[in-house]
């Protein structure tokens, strides 16, 4: 290989390296987000900047408008009067609900709303023994005598029925043999361990609408 060819290769290699560095810098710059606190955002900082902020979903603050989920988050260990409004257009996990930890990444608008492009929800798992819990068929068999009375039931999540809070029934629970099923209404957070076929223990009551309104949902210990 002559000297002229070597020089050309060095120049070409140098150009390729420079182009790759520029591309990586652009990608890194566009995807990186500064981690901030609820207090920082509530103070009016970071407008038009990409940020990541986490907090707990304020109870019953969420609603869906034109397929956009809107909700408020707060710092559970901070000032409860400081909240951040978040809007998110995308698929929402079944774990979303009241008091769930929401990790939101997006751009802060001048209107004080964080328009999230990424939403991750986390909730610690809870376990409970199914001792003294009624089966789904047993509960339904009691009829009107158990309407609006607090009870504990156990069963498994029917495949394909899990949904996020605010989207109707949260899931269907069925007896072990799958013969009897019951719609469950629940607005609080679900552990990400809850999935199709999970064995659960629920506390709540059967209402006149024929649905089980749960106040607590735990994985069966």
**Which 3 state secondary structure label does DSSP give 190?**
coil
Residue at 186 is within a domain:
yes
Say yes or no to pLDDT of 191 above 70.
yes
Structural domain boundaries, residue 55: 33-122
pLDDT tens-digit readout, 102-160: 999 999 999 999 999 999 999 889 999 999 999 999 999 999 999 999 999 999 999 99
In a shared domain, residues 144 and 185: yes
In a shared domain, residues 58 and 134: no
| pLDDT score, position 190 | 93
Q: What does the alpha-carbon distance between residue 19 and residue 82 come to, in Å, rounded to a whole number?
A: 44
**What's this model's pTM, rounded to 2 decimal places?**
0.73
Which stretches does DSSP call E strand in the chain?
34-35, 50-57, 63-65, 68-74, 83-88, 101-108, 113-122, 127-128, 151-157, 171-174, 181-185, 199-206, 212-220
Most confident residue range from 16-20, 35-39, 163-167: 35-39
Contacts by residues 64-69 (CB-CB < 8 Å, ≥ 24 positions apart): 64/166, 64/167, 69/96, 69/119, 69/166
pLDDT tens-digit readout, 47-69: 899 999 999 999 999 998 888 99
Residue at 66 is within a domain:
yes
| pLDDT score, position 74 | 96
Residue at 15 is within a domain:
no
Say yes or no to pLDDT of 14 above 50.
no
Residue at 40 is within a domain:
yes
Residue at 16 is within a domain:
no
- pLDDT band at residue 8 under the 50/70/90 scheme: low
Residue at 190 is within a domain:
yes
In a shared domain, residues 138 and 81: no
In a shared domain, residues 133 and 178: yes
pLDDT tens-digit readout, 72-84: 999 999 999 999 9
In a shared domain, residues 175 and 104: no
């Amino acid at each position: 290989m002559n000297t002229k060819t070597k020089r050309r290769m060095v120049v070409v290699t140098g150009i390729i390296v420079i182009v790759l560095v520029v591309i990586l810098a652009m990608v890194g710059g566009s995807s990186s987000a500064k981690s901030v606190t609820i207090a920082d955002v509530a103070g009016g900082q970071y407008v038009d900047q990409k940020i990541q902020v986490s907090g707990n979903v304020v109870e019953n603050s969420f609603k869906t408008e034109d397929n956009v989920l809107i909700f408020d988050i707060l710092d559970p260990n901070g000032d409860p009067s400081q909240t951040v409004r978040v809007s998110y257009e995308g698929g929402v996990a079944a774990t979303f609900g009241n008091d769930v930890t929401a990790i939101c990444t997006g751009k802060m608008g001048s209107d004080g709303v964080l328009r999230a492009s990424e939403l991750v929800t986390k909730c610690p798992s809870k376990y409970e023994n199914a001792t003294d819990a009624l089966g789904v068929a047993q509960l339904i068999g009691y009829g009107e005598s158990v309407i609006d009375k607090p009870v504990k039931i156990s069963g498994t999540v029917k495949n394909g029925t899990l949904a996020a809070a605010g989207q109707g029934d949260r899931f269907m629970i069925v007896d072990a043999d799958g013969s009897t099923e019951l719609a469950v209404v629940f607005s609080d957070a679900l552990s990400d361990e809850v999935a199709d076929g999970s064995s659960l223990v629920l506390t709540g009551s059967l209402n006149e609408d024929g649905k089980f309104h749960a106040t607590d949902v735990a994985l069966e210990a």
